[in-house]
Amino acid sequence: MTLLDDAPARGPRVAVRRTMTVPTGFDVCGDFAWRRTPDRIEIVHGLDESTICDSAMIAGLLPLIEQGVVVGQAGFEEAATAVIRTSAGTEARSWAAFYDNSLDELRSGRSPFSPIHRRARSLVAGDSVLEVGSCFGFFALQCADDGRRVAACDISPGAVALLSANARRLCTPVEAVLGDATALPFPTSSVDTVTLIHLLEHLDETAATSAVSEALRVARLRVVIAVPYEEDPSEHFGHRVRLTESHLRRWADAVDHAGAQYLEDHGGWLVLRPVP
């Protein structure tokens, strides 16, 4: 995951700004508009402090992806962070509005991701949770609001810093830690539930199996895994493979555990019980 780390994007650079009217020379594409110049792609949007959120940002960029204006994971992440950062008068206000609106949308059920978070929270066992591959950390923040002790781990330094800052701003205790899912920086049997929510589709088979094994090492009571079932893996989200239940069963067969449960609800779910 390169999100928030200013990794160089492949292809033309992207310049993004907020405007209430479409400038001359821009082509309207869904909710956004764009034009190509000799050295970059320019995108304009109308999202502001009251409307910026995860789903609105994605909905605005998807038509540009479908038209080939924004290309690949690096291009998507560059455009996504630029849309968020330009949604208010300062970057700090932009990120605060993005977090507040996205969390409100998730809690109210308006977000497309709400059913996934709701199911994941229902599967958490015990008092402590580790979210692996947390990115913005919306799930971790909701678990902390549920009264649980929460840690979050991501490979992106920018995502970890952003989650830490917003957890402090929201007075929501979440320990955000930099780390790789295949080598978690947590002691054995140190957390009741470890979650891998829409993470394993970003990894190859070997790394995915290692991540499941590491989650089982750290978890005392339960490992909760969720993956999307897509006809075509979303390249712009960094999805590597088209996953099916057979992948969940292969991961379960490849690791030591004391029991497995398979579910289908807005994608596939694997719930594992660690060996005591």
pLDDT of residue 234: 73
With a cut of 90, say whether residue 230 has pLDDT above it. no
**What are residue 54's phi and psi, to 5 degrees?**
-60, -45
With a cut of 60, say whether residue 6 has pLDDT above it. no
What is the average pLDDT across 101-127? 97
Tokens of 267: 């994608």
DSSP string, 25-75: TPEEETTEEEEE-SSEEEEEE---TTT--HHHHHHHHHHHHHTTSS-HHHH
Comparing CA positions, the residue from 170, 264, 272 lying closest to residue 212 is 272
pLDDT of residue 231: 82
Question: What average pLDDT does the structure give for the chain?
Answer: 93
With a cut of 90, say whether residue 4 has pLDDT above it. no
pLDDT of residue 1: 38
d(CA 225, CA 263): 10
% of the chain exceeding 90 in pLDDT = 88
pLDDT of residue 12: 57
d(CA 143, CA 115): 15
d(CA 33, CA 60): 9
DSSP state of 200: G
Tokens of 237: 């989200």
Q: Contact, 41 vs 72, CB < 8 A?
A: no
Residue 241 pLDDT grade (very low, low, confident, very high; cuts 50, 70, 90): confident
Cβ neighbours of residue 26 closer than 8 Å, sequence gap 6 or more? 33, 34, 35, 42, 44
Q: Contact, 153 vs 190, CB < 8 A?
A: no
CA 190 to each of CA 131, 261, 265: distance values in angstroms, whole numbers, following the listed order: 13, 22, 28
Sign of CA dihedral 1, 48, 105, 138: positive
What is the average pLDDT across 96-105? 98
pLDDT of residue 111: 97
**What are residue 258's phi and psi, to 5 degrees?**
-105, 10
Q: What strands lie across the sheet with 219-227, from one edge to the other?
A: 174-178, 149-154, 128-132, 191-197, 219-227, 268-273, 259-264
Residue 233 pLDDT grade (very low, low, confident, very high; cuts 50, 70, 90): confident
With a cut of 80, say whether residue 220 has pLDDT above it. yes
Express each pLDDT in 40-62 by its tens digit.
Answer: 999 999 999 999 999 999 999 99
pLDDT of residue 211: 98
What is the average pLDDT across 220-224? 98
pTM recorded for the entire structure? 0.92
pLDDT of residue 237: 77
What is the average pLDDT across 224-239? 84
pLDDT of residue 2: 44
